[in-house]
Amino acid sequence: MNNAPSWGRLKRKRRTTLPFEPDIRPASPQSILPYGNGRSYGDSCHNDAGTLVTMGHRNFILAFDPETGLLTAGGGIPIRDILKYIQRTGWFLPVVPGTKFVTLGGAIANDIHGKNHEKRGTFGRYVQNLVLWRSDGEQFTCSNSENKNLFAATIGGMGLTGVILYAQIQLMKVPSHFVEERNTPFSCLDAYFDQEDDWEDEQEYSVAWIDSVSTGRAFGRGISITGNHVEHAKMADYGDPSLSIPLTPPIPVVSGLPLRLFNAAYFRRKQQDVEPHLTGPDSFFFPLDAVANWNRLYGPKGLFQHQCVIPLPAAREVIPELLKTSHDFGQGSFLTVLKRFGAHCSPGFMSFPQPGYTLTLDFANRGAATRQLLNRLDDITLDAGGRTNPYKDGRMSARTFQRAFPDWQKLEALRDPSIQSDFWRRVSQPVATRVMATPPSISTPVNQPAQQGVQKTQLQSVRDKAPARAANSGTR
């Protein structure tokens, strides 16, 4: 009954899907949307008025050069398969998200970030070139030098510019896929912010887990988890989940007392584990993947994730305010994560990160009450000059989106006319002129705007030349 879901499981329904083939031609006015593995939380990977074109069968590696670390693969390959393939080669993906079950196309389309944004920026920075299919049947090789407007729109363009058939990625040299992990408890958010600067310079990865339900003197306590790749002869697992949540409970079980107990127990366990220790990549990067379908724990109405980024100067004040706001609304976040974003520019002009701190909160969907809370979190974020993450979202208003992403019309200009998503339908609606005329509160967006205009005539077709063009440099 619920096929092609997104991770938030907010809207359960049977969706029309079709395995993508380059010769499909969407019948007007029907629209399509590429679908990777549905690890987006909200409606950016859905098109309920049209068809989802699934990419799972395009899961191949076309070329890999162990000398240069250049890898070319199909848009539907899960990053788990890439990691397995390269694990003995001394190379690693320079950016991985919190789950290994995302596809290469999804990682590019959302320009994902990892625990090392400060060091490496987003995934899109490592895309050397990609081959994009458009619904008129043309294919385009896109890179920083070829069809660059389309390249800049596709990285972080949420699937709206076309279907990524292949991409060539520059991998990162590492001693092994294993990591030496360090856990450092902090008693409050000020202590976290104080510690951050020292750790960031020497550690590749850094992320903090926050006990979001503690109040009083324990408010904002948490664990900073940092790590560096180290030599290790063993192969990593990149295994299947060891547990599974078989059924959706009738009510969320990640709130109230269970939530408090979980947070307290997790804090205690990590607090006792402060010696640097060797950790496999599954446990360091993808701990949530150990339990299949953990999103079912949020109950039949699903979950909302709210991820925002707050510019550095405002963060010390605003991050606690966001946490307090969730307390005031009586809704605790089950998994609360805080990370610092660096200043690396993405090639994509719609990329979410900007320099600052990013806070991620997960809430069981309790209808209007949760939506009110999320709207309030949006307002606090916007007032602080920040933005809410579109690919974690399933309800943001057009006004909120357009204020935070002033370049959205450039994406609209390059959107494939036959591609549409539920998210885009909602957030690209006209909003009151007064609001549009107001300068966006983010006065210094760090993501590069598109370098040139957005006329479709500038696109250079490479029909019939892919994939050879994508795999041309340094590949064997």
Q: Which one, 69 or 157, has the nearer CB to ligand FAD?
A: 157
Please identify which residue in 59, 99, 441, 448 interacts with ligand FAD, judged by CB under 6 A: 99
According to DSSP, residue 88 is labeled: T
267 membership: H or E segment, kind and range: helix 256-271
- Please, is 99 exposed, middle or buried when counting C-beta atoms within 10 Å of its C-beta (0-12, 13-18, 19+)? middle
Please identify which residue in 31, 37, 72, 346 interacts with ligand FAD, judged by CB under 6 A: 37
Asked if 93 contacts 102 with a C-beta cutoff of 8 angstroms, the reply is no
Binding of residue 34 to ligand FAD (CB under 6 A): yes
Return d(Cα 53, Cα 23) in angstroms, integer. 12
Kindly tell me the sign of the dihedral angle through the C-alpha atoms of 331, 158, 19, 105. negative
Q: What is the DSSP string of 302-359?
A: -EEEEEEEE-HHHHHHHHHHHHHHHHHTT---SS-EEEEE--PPPS-TT----SEEEE
Return d(Cα 254, Cα 301) in angstroms, integer. 13
Return d(Cα 30, Cα 304) in angstroms, integer. 29
Q: Which one, 214 or 410, has the nearer CB to ligand FAD?
A: 410
Alpha carbon 439 to its chain centroid, in Å, reads 27
Give the side-chain half-sphere CA count within 13 A for 234. 9
Q: What is the closest distance, in whole angstroms, from the C-beta atom of residue 430 to ligand FAD in the complex?
A: 22
Binding of residue 245 to ligand FAD (CB under 6 A): no
Q: Which x/- pattern, by CB under 6 A, does the window 161-200 give for ligand FAD?
A: --xx------------------------------------
| The one segment of 97-105, 144-152, 378-386, 451-459 that binds ligand FAD by CB under 6 A | 97-105
Q: Which x/- pattern, by CB under 6 A, does the window 445-474 give for ligand FAD?
A: ------------------------------
> What are the angstrom distances between the C-alpha of 154 and each of 6, 30, 140, 157, 214?
20, 21, 11, 4, 41
Binding of residue 418 to ligand FAD (CB under 6 A): no
Q: What is the closest distance, in whole angstroms, from the C-beta atom of residue 154 to ligand FAD in the complex?
A: 7
Please identify which residue in 31, 40, 139, 402 interacts with ligand FAD, judged by CB under 6 A: 40
Q: In what order do the strands lie in the sheet with 70-74?
A: 61-65, 70-74, 163-170, 127-133, 139-142
The encoded tokens of residue 302 equal 């699903």
* φ and ψ at residue 401, rounded to 5 degrees: -65, -45
Please identify which residue in 26, 32, 36, 450 interacts with ligand FAD, judged by CB under 6 A: 36
Please identify which residue in 110, 143, 212, 226 interacts with ligand FAD, judged by CB under 6 A: 110
Residues 352 to 391: which contact ligand FAD by CB under 6 A? Answer: 391
Cα of first residue to Cα of last residue in the chain, in angstroms, is: 44
Q: What is the closest distance, in whole angstroms, from the C-beta atom of residue 162 to ligand FAD in the complex?
A: 7
Residues binding ligand FAD: number (CB under 6 A): 33
Q: What is the closest distance, in whole angstroms, from the C-beta atom of residue 398 to ligand FAD in the complex?
A: 17
Please identify which residue in 44, 149, 203, 351 interacts with ligand FAD, judged by CB under 6 A: 44
Q: Which one, 163 or 214, has the nearer CB to ligand FAD?
A: 163
Residues 388 to 407: which contact ligand FAD by CB under 6 A? Answer: 391
Q: Which x/- pattern, by CB under 6 A, does the window 274-313 give for ligand FAD?
A: --------------x-------------------------
Binding site for ligand FAD (CB under 6 A): 7, 33-40, 44-45, 55, 75, 97-99, 102-103, 105-107, 109-110, 112-114, 158-159, 163-164, 288, 391, 421
